[in-house]
Amino acid sequence: MSRTIACIGAGVIGGGWAAYFLARGFDVVAWDPAPDAEARLRRTVDAAWPAVTELGLDEGADRSRLRVATSLADACAAAEFVQESAPEDLDLKRRLLAELVEATGDDVVIASSTSGFPMSDMATETRDPSRLVVGHPFNPPYVIPLVEVVGGRATAPDAVASAADFYRAIGKSVIQMDREVPGFVANRLQEALWREALHMVANGEATVEQIDASITEGPGLRWPVHGPCLTFHLAGGEGGMAHMLDHFGPSLRAPWTRLEAPALTDELREAMVLGTSDEAGARSFTDLVAERDRAVIAVRRAVEAARTR
- The amino acid occupying position 105 is G
Q: What is the mean pLDDT of residues 279-289?
A: 90
**C-alpha dihedral, 282 to 288 to 292 to 298, nearest 10°:** -50
Using alpha carbons, select from 73, 62, 61 the residue that is nearest to residue 100.
73
Place 309 in a pLDDT band, splitting at 50, 70 and 90.
Answer: confident
Place 208 in a pLDDT band, splitting at 50, 70 and 90.
Answer: confident
Looking at the chain, which residues constitute the CATH 3.40.50.720 domain(s)? 4-176
Q: Give pLDDT, residue 2.
A: 53
For residue 131, how far is the Cα from the chain centroid?
20
How far apart are the C-alpha atoms of 32 and 22, rounded to whole Å? 18
User: How do 81-84 and 66-68 pair as beta strands?
Assistant: unpaired
- Are 181 and 147 in contact by the 8 Å Cβ rule? The answer is no
How far apart are the C-alpha atoms of 79 and 204, rounded to whole Å? 52
Q: Model-level pTM?
A: 0.87
How far apart are the C-alpha atoms of 110 and 94, rounded to whole Å? 13
The predicted-structure confidence for 10-56, as pLDDT tens digits, reads as follows: 999 999 999 999 999 999 999 999 999 999 999 999 999 999 998 99
How high is the mean pLDDT of the chain?
Answer: 92
The predicted-structure confidence for 229-249, as pLDDT tens digits, reads as follows: 999 999 999 999 999 998 887
- Are 214 and 175 in contact by the 8 Å Cβ rule? The answer is no
Place 81 in a pLDDT band, splitting at 50, 70 and 90.
Answer: very high
- Are 86 and 41 in contact by the 8 Å Cβ rule? The answer is no
* C-alpha distance from residue 256 to each of 72, 199, 243 (Å): 50, 11, 21
Query: Does the structure show a pLDDT above 90 at 4?
Result: yes
As a CATH number, domain 4-176 is 3.40.50.720
The predicted-structure confidence for 113-130, as pLDDT tens digits, reads as follows: 999 899 999 999 999 999
